[in-house]
Amino acid sequence: MTTPTSAAPVSASSALKVFVVAGELSGDVLGAGLLRELKARYPHAEFRGVGGPGMIAQGLQSLAPIEQLSVMGLVEVLKHLPGLLALRKRLKRAALEWRADVMIGIDAPDFNTDLELALRQQGIKTLHYVSPSVWAWRQGRVKKIRRAVDRMLTFLPFEADFYREHQVPVSFVGHPLADDLPLEEDQGAARRALGIDPYIPLLALLPGSRHNEVELMLPVYLEALRQLRGHHFELETVIPAASEVRRQEIEALIEQAHIDPGTRQAIHIIDGQASVAMTASDAVLLTSGTSALEAMLCHRPMVVAYRMAATTFWIAQRVVHTEWISLPNLLAQSTIVPELVQHDASVERIVSELAPLLFEGAGASLVVRFKEMHQALARGASVRAADAVVEVVAEKHAPSHGEDL
């Protein structure tokens, strides 16, 4: 076993070597903001690891496609496990040979925590950005996290409280989306940007950023759209595709659905621009994930739906100990948006929950609530996260109990 060595202090004029691994496209957005702020502090910084287009635009040399890590679900991960293990081994070797100063894992906790632990044992400082839902299930993971990271960076205040209770150095940084999205949205401007009639009812439809999510959820959403148009034939929908690969999958599934020409004409597929699509809409139908938070920050009423492989759901029922799956409800600690999971994510339930939001203005009271929640999360997250990285890099001795920045 190699004896750990202490990383040397790095000055702002030095070429700080940052090894960063993002697990999916939402993590790429976070990573891009963080790398931008780190470059402001260390103009000569170098970045390697795994990321998407946003991080690559900030100078990241990505050693693997981010899609290779975008696997969700217990059963689904098992099918990809050999490739994931080989990738983690390759990334560990790359970080050590490069002599990275710091490693930042962004989300993908099952992949990144082991990588962080291995690199920290070799003297590389480590941070993890985006807390896993350790407070909801597999709480024993916190012991491994304590060994793996020099600092945990959390979006939510109750997450930071959990880590303090378990003696894990932590910084509550807020959420970058809360900083980026305006507190006063302009629905008219969003519709003009998309070329959507300002007077028709509009549904934003987000089937997910992963292949298995789109495959499971989009056919259900399309049938719900068809039935909703029976309530109001002028209803249109906008679908922001998370990537070119997802766009191709969305288009293929629409063709396979054999929907009527009128409904097909009412579907607008766009590249990215999820926040614009949601701001333009009257309501949002989405697959649980970061998009639920984004819809909240766009101040739009929503219905959250989620399906997974039957075996994955059976296991999840026995190990997950939380009442809610969506971030708006978790933040509020109450059911303020409908969550339809597995068998409840039926066409009939989706239609019954969405129709009042789209055609009766039933979600108006949520706008004020969402704006209050938005303000609580707008803390300058990328700046605070970069400040935490600077602090961790500067540490010469074993970290003590972490404090909020």
Could you report the per-residue pLDDT of 214-245, keeping only the tens digit for each? Answer: 888 899 999 999 999 988 889 999 999 988 88
| Beta bridge partners of residue 128, listed in sequence order | 105, 152
Cβ distance 298 to 333 under 8 Å?
no
In this model, does residue 53 exceed pLDDT 50? yes
In this model, does residue 5 exceed pLDDT 80? no
Dihedrals phi, psi of 99, to nearest 5 degrees: 60, 55
In this model, does residue 94 exceed pLDDT 90? yes
Question: What is the band of 204 on the pLDDT scale with cuts at 50, 70, 90?
Answer: very high
Other Cβ atoms less than 10 A from the Cβ of 316: the count is: 17
Q: What is the pLDDT of residue 52?
A: 92
How buried is residue 179: exposed, middle or buried, by Cβ count under 10 Å (0-12/13-18/19+)?
A: middle
Q: What is the pLDDT of residue 62?
A: 95
For the chain, the three-class secondary structure string (H helix, E strand, C coil) is CCCCCCCCCCCCCCCCEEEEEECCHHHHHHHHHHHHHHHHHCCCCEEEEECCHHHHHCCEEECCCHHHHCCCCHHHHHHHHHHHHHHHHHHHHHHHHHCCCEEEEECCHHHHHHHHHHHHCCCCEEEEECCCCCCCECCCHHHHHHHHCCEEEECCHHHHHHHHHCCCCEEECCCHHHHHCCCCCCHHHHHHHHCCCCCCCEEEEECCCCHHHHHHHHHHHHHHHHHHHHHCCCCEEEEEECCHHHHHHHHHHHHHHCCCHHHHHCEEEEECCHHHHHHHCCEEEEECCHHHHHHHHCCCCEEEEECCCHHHHHHHHHHECCCCCCHHHHHHCCCCCCEEEHHHCCHHHHHHHHHHHHHCCCCHHHHHHHHHHHHHHCCCHHHHHHHHHHHHHHCCCCCCCCCCC
Q: What is the pLDDT of residue 71?
A: 58
Q: What is the pLDDT of residue 80?
A: 64
pLDDT tens-place string over residues 266-281: 999 999 899 999 999 9
Q: For 180, how many CA atoms within 13 A lie in the half-sphere containing its CB?
A: 15
pLDDT tens-place string over residues 10-44: 555 568 999 999 988 888 989 999 999 999 999 99
Q: What is the pLDDT of residue 61?
A: 97
Domain 180-377 has CATH 3.20.20.450: no
Other Cβ atoms less than 10 A from the Cβ of 286: the count is: 27
Question: What is the band of 289 on the pLDDT scale with cuts at 50, 70, 90?
Answer: confident
Cβ distance 275 to 182 under 8 Å?
no
Q: What is the mean pLDDT of residues 269-297?
A: 91
Cβ distance 250 to 219 under 8 Å?
no
Cβ distance 310 to 318 under 8 Å?
no
The CATH architecture assigned to 17-174+379-394 reads 3-Layer(aba) Sandwich (3.40)
The ranges of the chain annotated as CATH 3.40.50.2000 are 17-174+379-394, 180-377
How many percent of the chain have pLDDT more than 90? 58
In this model, does residue 401 exceed pLDDT 90? no
